[in-house]
Amino acid sequence: MTRARRPDPPPLETNDVRIAQAGTVAWVIALIVLLITGADRWWLWVCVTGIAIGLFAIWYVPRLQSGRARQEAARAARRTPADPE
């Protein structure tokens, strides 16, 4: 006999900008360590690329989330029936 499937839990709310900031800080620390130790240029560019992607994420994520919120609000407005007068 199969058991009834439980409903999925709601999605977990996270602070995605803070996560991007933490990753960017980690890349900055890695770059500083590599500059001190005199690592190959290739590794330095890996860190610079990580920092650039992190800065882009810090800029882009709030815009992505607000766009998704606007789309969801528009969908919810279309689903609700108009008030009868």
Please name which of 70, 72, 62 lies closest in space to residue 11, comparing C-alpha atoms. 72
Please name which of 37, 63, 33, 31 lies closest in space to residue 50, comparing C-alpha atoms. 31
Give the pLDDT confidence score for residue 78 in this predicted structure.
87
The position carrying tokens 């789309």 is 71
Give the pLDDT confidence score for residue 83 in this predicted structure.
53
The pTM score is 0.74
Regions in the chain scoring below 50 on pLDDT: none
